[in-house]
Chains A and B, each alone.
Chain A
Amino acid sequence: MENYHADSDGFYGEFGGAFIPEMLYPNVDELKSRYVEIMESPEFQKEFHQLLREYVGRPTPLYFARRLSEKYGARIYLKREDLCHTGAHKVNNTIGQILMARKLGKKRIIAETGAGQHGVATATVCALMGLPCIVYMGEVDIARQAPNVARMKLLGAEVRPARSGSRTLKDATNEAIRDWINNPEDTHYIIGSVVGPHPYPDMVARFQAVISEEIQKQLLEKEGRDAPDYVIACVGGGSNAAGAYYHYLDRPEVGIIAVEAAGKGISTGESAATSALGTVGIIHGSKTLLMQTTDGQITEPYSISAGLDYPGIGPMHAHLFTSGRGEFHSVTDQQAMEAGKELAALEGIIPAIETAHAFAVLKQRTFNPEDILVFNLSGRGDKDLQTYIEHFNL
C-alpha cells in the first residue's frame, strides 16, 4: 500500500526533504532529531492537550449542517475550526511549536504571515509564554490586512515589513528564513503551514492532526462510524487540510478533496492553483509542486484570499495529487465569494474567504444523498469583512 506519511528524511514519495543552505543545517537538524521524541513524550502531550482544551477551546464542534445538506443532497458536517481562539486552525500549530521551542531552549520566536492569521496565532502564543515575537509580513499584505497588523502589535509582536521581491507571503517567508540564518543560536522559526524543509511539514501536520482525531470520535457518536465518505478542505500551504485528512490518509474508503484558489481563473495568469499550474521544484527548502517559469524562477500567485496566495503546496499534498489519492479542485475568487455568502445565509456562519473556497466544490461535483461529507471550516470571516463589503457592495 502507498504510504502518505513522511519517511525519515521527510519525503512523501518524491516530494519533501530539506533543501537548505548549510547555515540552516544545525537548527533544522536539531529539530529533525528531536521533534518526534519531544512531541510524543507524555509531559508534552499533557501540556499540549491542556492548552488546546482550556486556551484554544477544543474540541471544536462537529456540526451537522442541516440546511446545506438539504440543499446539496448529502449529509454535510462542518468541523468548526473557526471557533478556535484567534479564529482559525492556525493556533493548533502555534501552540505545539511554542512548546517545542521551549523544550529546545529557544528564547526568540520568528514567523512569516500572509493574511496575518498565522502571525496573530504566533503573537498570541508568544504573549502566553512571554517570548519576544517578530513577524515578517510583506509590505503589500501589511497594507491590505491592517486589522491583523494591529492585533499582532497589541499582542506585543513586532511586525517587520518584507520589502524584497513582490512583498507578499513568499517574500515574508524568505525574510523569516534569512532572520533564522542570522540568528542561529537562540531563535525558533514557527512556520505557518505544512511547507518548508523537513521536519516542518510533518511536524505541523502532526500538530494539526488533532482535527481528524476529533472528527473520528465525533462522527462515531453521531453516525456510528468514525470515517466520512469525503473530507474536504481548502489548500494554501495545506495545514488545515493536512490536519483534517491526517487519520484518514491510509484509509482508501475515505475520499480526500482539496480545493485550491484559481484566483481570476486558471488560465488568466492571476491564479494560485498550484496543482493545476505547478511543476516540480524547490521552494523554501522543500521539493514540491510550485508555480515557476521554465527557467526555474518562482512566479507570483494571485488569489482574493491572502491565505491561499502562495506559489507552492506542501509536499504531502503534492504527493496526494500526483499519486491520485487526493481529488483536487480549483475555485475562482467569484465562486468562493458566492460560496461564503451562501454559507452565511444557510447556516449563519461567515467563513474566512480561504475556507469559502472549500464550499464552492459543492457546485463542481455531485455527491450521493447518503454520502457523509466533512468540511474543515478552517476559519471565520471577521478578518475578511472588508473584502465581503467591497465584493457584494454591502
Chain B
Amino acid sequence: MQIKENKKTDRIGVALKKEGPLLSIYFTAGYPHLEDTLPVLRELQKNGVDMIEIGLPFSDPLADGPTIQESSMAALKNGMTTHRLFDQLRDVRSEIHLPLILMGYFNPVLQFGVEAFCEKCREVGIDGLILPDLPLEIYQKQYRAIFEKYGLKMVFLITPQTSEARIRTIDRTSDAFIYMVSTASTTGAQQGFDPAAEDYFKRVSEMNLKNPQIVGFGISNAQTFGQATKHAKGAIIGSAFIKTLTAHGLSGISSFIKSVRP
C-alpha cells in the first residue's frame, strides 16, 4: 500500500496559491498510444504546467467537441480501460508531484463501482475528480460521503447561463476550484473570446467566492489564456493540446506549452 503522504498534501490547494496564472492541461489517457499516459505526464511536468487533468475515455462523450471525441475513440481502440489506467498510474507519485485530476463521464465510474473507484484514486494519488454528468444534486444526495471518505475533491462546472444562486450552492459544495466553462459550448478550441465572455469571467470573479475559478473550454493559445486569466485564477487547455499531440506527438509538448505561457 502506498497511500504515503498523499492524504495530507493538498496539492490542488498548493497549486492554486501559487503566484500568477495557473495553467492546467487536459489530455485523454492512452492517447495517442496506449502507453503514452505516463510519458505525457512527465513531459507536462518537465515543461512547468501547474495541474493536469487526465481524461478517462468514454464511448459517448456528449459534452465534448470533435477533437476529444476522436481522441477518446482512439484511446478506446488502443485498449484503454479504467482498470488499465489505474495500472498505468500505480507508481505515478514516485515521479509526478503535480495535482492530478481525473475527468470523465459517470457511467464508467458506476461500472467500476463508485467506492472501488474512489479507493483506487486514493491509492494511486489522484487529488480530485471532474465528472460533468454527475449533477450537483445527485452528488450531494448519494455520493458526497463516499468521495469525501477517500479525500477526493469534486470539481463542478458553471456556465454563462448558471444562475448566481446556483453558483453559490456550487461554491459551498466544493473545496477545490470552480470550473468555469467559457461559453455555452462543447469542448473545443476557439479563436478568441467576445466581450460577453470576458464580462462573465469578471462578473463571477466579483462574487467573492471561496473557491478560485479556472476557465476551461475554448482556451487554445497565449491570447485566449491571457483573456481567461485576466479575471480568473487559471485556465485549462484540452482540445488544442490534443491537436498538438495528434500532429507532433510528445515532441510537440514543450513548444506548445512555451507558446501558451512564454
Tell me which residues across on chain B come within 8 A of A295, comparing CB atoms.
81-83, 108, 111-112
Q: How far is the CA of A238 from the CA of B109 in the complex (A)?
A: 26
Q: Is A257 an interface residue (CB 8 A)?
A: no
Minimum CB distance partner of A183 in chain B: B184
Is B162 in contact with A21, judged by CB distance below 8 angstroms? Answer: no
Provided the pairs A174-B62, A181-B185 are in contact, do residues A165 and B73 lie with their beta carbons within 8 angstroms? Answer: yes
Is A292 in contact with B62, judged by CB distance below 8 angstroms? Answer: no
Is B107 in contact with A177, judged by CB distance below 8 angstroms? Answer: no
Provided the pairs A295-B82, A296-B108, A298-B60 are in contact, do residues A19 and B138 lie with their beta carbons within 8 angstroms? Answer: yes
Q: Is B148 an interface residue (CB 8 A)?
A: no
Over the window 70-82 of chain B, the binary record of Cβ atoms lying under 8 Å from chain A Cβ atoms (1 yes, 0 no) is 0001001000011
Q: Is B69 an interface residue (CB 8 A)?
A: yes
Is B76 in contact with A297, judged by CB distance below 8 angstroms? Answer: yes
Provided the pairs A22-B162, A22-B181, A182-B185 are in contact, do residues A297 and B157 lie with their beta carbons within 8 angstroms? Answer: no
CB contact list, B87-131 vs A, under 8 A: 105-112
Over the window 31-48 of chain B, the binary record of Cβ atoms lying under 8 Å from chain A Cβ atoms (1 yes, 0 no) is 000000000000000000
Is A21 in contact with B107, judged by CB distance below 8 angstroms? Answer: no
Minimal beta-carbon separation of B214 from chain A (angstroms)? 14
Q: How far is the CA of A297 from the CA of B156 in the complex (A)?
A: 23
Q: How far is the CA of A18 from the CA of B138 in the complex (A)?
A: 9
Tell me which residues across on chain B come within 8 A of A174, comparing CB atoms.
60-62
Q: Is B13 an interface residue (CB 8 A)?
A: no
Minimum CB distance partner of A22 in chain B: B157
Looking at B83, B136, B181, B184, the one whose CB has the most chain A CB atoms below 10 A away is B184
Is B60 in contact with A283, judged by CB distance below 8 angstroms? Answer: yes
Q: Which of A23, A178, A282 is within 8 Å of B107, CB to CB?
A: A282
Minimal beta-carbon separation of B65 from chain A (angstroms)? 8
Minimal beta-carbon separation of B132 from chain A (angstroms)? 4
Provided the pairs A26-B162, A281-B111, A295-B83 are in contact, do residues A20 and B185 lie with their beta carbons within 8 angstroms? Answer: no
Give the total of B residues in contact with A, Cβ under 8 Å. Answer: 41
Is A23 in contact with B58, judged by CB distance below 8 angstroms? Answer: no
| Chain B residues with a Cβ under 8 A of chain A | 58-63, 65-66, 69, 73, 76, 81-83, 105-112, 132-138, 156-159, 161-163, 166, 181, 184-186
Looking at B105, B108, B136, B158, the one whose CB has the most chain A CB atoms below 10 A away is B108
Tell me which residues across on chain B come within 8 A of A9, comparing CB atoms.
137
Q: Is A206 an interface residue (CB 8 A)?
A: no
Minimal beta-carbon separation of B100 from chain A (angstroms)? 21
Q: How far is the CA of A171 from the CA of B69 in the complex (A)?
A: 11
Is A298 in contact with B63, judged by CB distance below 8 angstroms? Answer: no
Q: How far is the CA of A298 from the CA of B159 in the complex (A)?
A: 27
Tell me which residues across on chain B come within 8 A of A171, comparing CB atoms.
60
Is A20 in contact with B135, judged by CB distance below 8 angstroms? Answer: yes
Tell me which residues across on chain A come within 8 A of B158, comparing CB atoms.
22
Provided the pairs A22-B132, A170-B60 are in contact, do residues A184 and B110 lie with their beta carbons within 8 angstroms? Answer: no
Minimal beta-carbon separation of A173 from chain B (angstroms)? 8
Tell me which residues across on chain A come within 8 A of B59, comparing CB atoms.
165, 297-299
User: A-B pairs with the 10 shortest C-beta distances?
Assistant: A296-B108, A296-B111, A21-B132, A22-B157, A297-B59, A295-B81, A184-B184, A26-B161, A21-B63, A282-B107
Is A181 in contact with B60, judged by CB distance below 8 angstroms? Answer: no
